[in-house]
A and B are shown apart, each in its own frame.
With several copies, the nearest count.
Chain A
Amino acid sequence: MRALPLSKALFGSAVVFFLMAPLFAILPLAFTDSIFLNYPIPRFSIRWFTELLTADAWRRSIINSLVIGVGTTVLATILGTVAALGLRGKSFSLLFGFFRTVFLLPMVVPAVVLGVGMQLMFAQYGLANTYLGVIVAHTVIAIPFVVVNVTAALQGIDHRLENAAASLGASPAVVLQKITLPLALPGVVSGAVFAFATSLDEVVLTLFVAGPNQRTVARQMFSTIRENISPAIAAAAFLFIVGTVALGALVLLIRQRSVRSL
């Protein structure tokens, strides 16, 4: 049923253009020589990339993004993987439905709502305006991605492999370590990459829970654009996209390798 191929192709291209247009609009401006975020571009230069790496506010924000991103990735990957293992194989119980809803809730609850709640809570526990607070906040919204990816990987594992390992003498802990986790690894890595990307991209929560010392790149872009619209934003966006595409390629690569080896 490879029918209507031409109309599909035309329509597909239109949708692609539709989705890509905002990116195409902003990315060339990363290389402008002007101090305005405007077309036409007078001359090309990499001055805004230099600015990113030398201006104190931008340098700090890059370091913050990396620290918070790595922290979030570690925390979310561990919690999310354990949660996925715990949810596993209970797909028909009511409890499972409840837990799954809870784990996926942060994916659909508005960031504004979460942000307000966290602000209130963090103030009470002294987490407001700390790195730990930001990491915890980002972890809450990163966990669903880890759970979804690891759950998918676990669903792909034949239970009989684990039964076979048990019958050959492996205790449950050894089965987990030697069979289940190695086979779920591609999902865990995908989840970790998504968690990292989520942390990098997050703005709204960061606005609520982070102090001036925890400004991330996304947060910095957000304020910059509201204060003065400088092409540094376009340069930061460019770096973001390059990083995202690299991470995406990594995930695809891992998935394909695991498909091949399974």
Chain B
Amino acid sequence: MSNAFIHFDKVSKAFGIMTVVDDLDLTIGKGEFVSMLGPSGSGKTTLLMMLAGFEKPTSGSISVAGKRVDALPPHKRNMGVVFQNYALFPHMTVSENVAFPLKMRGASRSEMVERVTKVLDMVQLGAFHERKPIQLSGGQQQRVALARALVFEPEVVLMDEPLGALDKKLREQMQMDIRDIHHRLGLTIVFVTHDQTEALTMSDRIAIFNHGKIEQIGSPSEIYDRPRTQFVAEFIGETNLLSGKVSSFNDGILSVILEGGQLLRVTSASKIEVGKSVKVSIRPEGIELGQSGLGENELRVRVSDIVYHGDHLQVQVEAGNNPLVVKATRQTLAPQIGEEVTASFSPSQCWIVT
């Protein structure tokens, strides 16, 4: 966010009585990779469509590089857009698809050939110039779509769940490729997804959308390790939420008395008033199970279920009336269902959410 490149200023969008984007401010820096993540209907795609020019904001303004763009039609915005279904022109060859934006800009024949060749080589489709889109696999089509969005060297590339239609292995490969291209070309990328892994692995920053507003924006580790709200904590990864009341605050460590009476010690950046009700979020991988305690926080729990996940075990335990989920690595010895064990976790694994 060093320099504000794309700026949404109090942007709202309503369809009839449905407010889809609600008085939203967002600044994206030049060269940043920002993911918009949220449940369907949370407004992330609508925001992207407004940036691309396919929808007009009901109120507010959008500017890029200091110039307002919200009155410009899409074809004057100079942004590359990649769609989930690729949106390749079925009646044109791969070359013609990729050359299309250059033709629109009146490029010369030789320049077109040169740039199309270069960008198709970049996405490793140099041998597919004359194919029709239908003759390509999903991953290849997505590469053509990417090439077409990059060939006219737009400053901003918008991607609307571009990898949603690909299978897992291919998706991971394309994630790496896009990350790579982002670093190499220094593009500003706005990326809409509902896949949290995608957002965590690719982005400089993630904006978590909920009901047309951004609940939290920050780096992947800020979002995952220091979620501000219960919604963010539950949306990104899995989490355990325990309710309690603050009983003291000393040296950055809160003491919280849970509803079951147990005492937790929780690190907290900000002071919270004694007596206030709070929710504590603890990630499943932050808890260790054993016969005796190891950390500063210990809860006596009974194992209720163990689910095999291949690379880890998901252990469900009951701490008083609170069910907790624990991610146990396969290296450690797994407890048995019905066994009483101690769940321990350090104060730094606990985080207060609102």
Contacts and interface: CB of A to CB of B under 8 A. Distances in A.
Residue among A167, A182, A183 with max Cβ neighbours from chain B (10 Å): A167
A164 B149 CA distance: 9
Contacts of B75: 166-172, 174
Which among B54, B148, B152 has the highest number of chain A CB atoms within 10 Å?
B54
Given A183-B90, A183-B91, A262-B90, A169 B78 contact: yes
B228 interface: no
Interface string A170-188: 1110100011001100000
Given A167-B75, A167-B79, A169-B78, A158 B100 contact: no
A186 B14 CA distance: 34
A204 interface: no
Contacts of B81: 163-164, 167
A113 interface: no
Interface in A83-114: none
B80 A167 contact: yes
A249 B132 CA distance: 26
A182 B101 CA distance: 18
A154 to B, nearest CB: 15
Interface residues of A, number: 20
B87 interface: yes
Contacts of A168: 75, 80, 100-101, 104, 148-149, 152
Interface residues of B, number: 27
Contacts of B129: none
B104 A164 contact: no
A161 interface: yes
Contacts of B89: 161, 164-165, 179
A160 interface: yes
B77 A167 contact: yes
Nearest to A262: B90
A50 B77 CA distance: 66
A7 interface: no
Contacts of B249: none
A169 B85 contact: no
A183 B149 CA distance: 21
A160 B90 contact: no
Contacts of A124: none
A165 B100 contact: yes
Contact of A167 (B53, B85, B132, B134): B53
Given A182-B91, A262-B90, A166 B74 contact: yes
Interface string A12-42: 0000000000000000000000000000000
A261 interface: yes
A170 B87 CA distance: 15
A166 B100 contact: no
13 contacts: A160-B83, A163-B52, A164-B83, A165-B100, A166-B73, A166-B75, A168-B101, A168-B149, A172-B75, A174-B75, A182-B91, A261-B134, A262-B134
Q: Which 4 A/B pairs are nearest by Cβ-Cβ distance? A: A169-B104, A168-B101, A164-B87, A166-B74
Given A163-B52, A167-B77, 12 more contacts: A161-B90, A163-B83, A163-B87, A164-B89, A166-B54, A167-B79, A167-B81, A168-B80, A168-B100, A172-B73, A174-B104, A262-B90
Interface of B: 52-54, 73-75, 77-81, 83, 85, 87, 89-91, 100-101, 104-105, 132, 134, 148-149, 152, 158
